Amino acid sequence: MFVDEVDIHVEAGSGGRGCLAFRREKFVPRGGPSGGDGGLGGSVYVVASPHTNTLINYRFHPEFSAERGDHGQGSNRTGANGHDLELAVPIGTLVYEKTGDPEHPLSLLVDLAKEGQRVLVAKGGRGGLGNARFATSTNRAPRKVQPGEPGEIKDLRLEMKLLADVGLVGFPNAGKSTLIARISAARPKIADYPFTTLTPNLGVVQLSGDRSFVVADVPGLIEGAHRGLGLGHRFLRHLERTKVLVHLVDVSSGTGRDPVEDFETVRAELDLFDPAFAAKPQLVAANKIDAMDDETRAKNLEKRAKKLKLPFFRISGVSGDGVPALLEAIWKHLAAEREAARAAVELHPR
């Protein structure tokens, strides 16, 4: 099961109580106070891990508590600190804190976009002071101690965004799953009857010269997807991290729809969901040319793409025709993006 959004409840450990004790040893008259401090409560951390790719574990186990600190002991012994709790999440997870404010219900704590990134989400409580801490020249036998402070309690929302270089977008049954299966080792469900992908798929594309990039196939979009219609709206956020978008359009006559209208509908839904999508490099791929029985369908789509100054390709995900040229064009955009990123780092090193 692909789970990319969950609500969890976390509680950091409380600090241990300070100890009330006095030294009672032979040959040590008026030994004085000897109560130790309580230990620190364990904290809760969220860690970006490469070993998990879904939040399903948190769907069925949404409550987590770190260990509390031990109480202080006599002979000035401090209680043991509680163990910290680390919650492993997929790389690309956003951690929000629920605020309780109807206008702004969520506050972003961190975007875990890098492997191994670790962030504190709930701090453990401080241990209480034992009575040895309160001894003074005028109060040599204090009976005062402190209780441990409670740990932080928070309600969080975890939202995962896929880390992919390229996003395949299009109507249901446009052939996205077939294409990702051809160009990568991903094996999504593919069949010869109409259905749509229910969860995103990731695939690594290997090109010559030790070149590679990651492609994401998200569920098909329909008109109104940005408002919650269909399945695609749940996964549109997975496209936000992509650097290149590929519009896959079915130009066969099997759908009964017009390819240009399909293309424009998807473009409009992306823009309504997030206008930033328009700034991404975009390519148009007329798919299923092996099953095309009307040349004008592809020609009309090509004219529209050229009017928008978008690269146009004719491909077949089934036979592989035109796919290598499409992949090379994708790599050209990615290489330029990576070079620009490297130049920015060199210009403004940390």
Instruction: Indicate the pairing of strand 106-112 with strand 282-287.
Output: unpaired
pTM for this model (two decimals): 0.77
Same-domain status, 174 and 242: yes
- Look at residues 108, 126, 160 and tell me which one is the last residue of a structural domain: 160
Same-domain status, 127 and 192: no
Same-domain status, 104 and 127: yes
- Look at residues 126, 160, 194 and tell me which one is the last residue of a structural domain: 160
Instruction: Return the sign of the alpha-carbon dihedral for residues 298, 299, 303, 306.
Output: positive
More confident residue, 278 or 29: 278
Phi/psi class of residue 166: alpha, beta or left (left: φ > 0; alpha: ψ in -120 to 50)? beta
Same-domain status, 155 and 252: no
**DSSP codes joined into one string, 182-238:** HHSS------SS----SS-EEEEEEETTTEEEEEEEPPPP-TTGGGT-TTGGGGGGG
Same-domain status, 149 and 248: no
Looking at residue 188, what is its pLDDT?
61
- Look at residues 127, 160, 193 and tell me which one is the last residue of a structural domain: 160
Same-domain status, 151 and 188: no
Same-domain status, 343 and 210: yes
Instruction: Write down the number of H helices and E strands in the chain.
Output: 5, 14
Q: Collapsing DSSP states into helix, strand and coil, what is residue 172?
A: coil
Looking at residue 62, what is its pLDDT?
94
Instruction: Indicate the pairing of strand 211-217 with strand 166-169.
Output: parallel
Residues 195, 188: contact at Cβ < 8 Å? no
Give which of 100, 104, 95, 121 is closest to 43, Cα–Cα. 121
- 254, 255, 257, 261: CA torsion to nearest 10: -110
pLDDT in tens, 122-142: 999 999 999 999 999 899 899
Instruction: Indicate the pairing of strand 63-65 with strand 5-11.
Output: parallel
pLDDT in tens, 169-190: 888 888 888 899 899 876 665 5
pLDDT over 90 for what percent of the chain? 56
Looking at residue 27, what is its pLDDT?
78
H or E element, residue 259: helix 259-273
pLDDT in tens, 77-93: 999 999 999 999 999 89
Same-domain status, 234 and 140: no
Give which of 159, 166, 161, 200 is closest to 183, Cα–Cα. 166
H or E element, residue 46: strand 44-49
d(CA 133, CA 236): 57
Same-domain status, 173 and 147: no
Q: Collapsing DSSP states into helix, strand and coil, what is residue 278?
A: helix
d(CA 95, CA 88): 12
Q: What domain range is 334 assigned to?
A: 166-347
pLDDT in tens, 193-240: 444 555 777 888 999 888 889 998 877 665 554 444 444 556 677 888
Is it the case that residue 54 has pLDDT exceeding 50? yes
Instruction: Give the CATH number of the domain where residue 255 resides.
Output: 3.40.50.300
pLDDT over 70 for what percent of the chain? 89
Which residue is associated with the tokens 């904290």?
43
Same-domain status, 282 and 302: yes
Same-domain status, 302 and 180: yes
Is it the case that residue 342 has pLDDT exceeding 90? no
d(CA 170, CA 320): 18
pLDDT in tens, 98-131: 998 999 999 999 999 899 999 999 999 999 999 9
- Looking at the structure of the chain, the number of domains it has is 2
Give which of 168, 169, 167, 182 is closest to 318, Cα–Cα. 182
Instruction: Give the CATH number of the domain where residue 151 resides.
Output: 2.70.210.12
Same-domain status, 178 and 300: yes
Residue 250 CB-density burial (10 A; 0-12 exposed, 13-18 middle, 19+ buried): buried
Q: What average pLDDT does the structure give for the chain?
A: 87
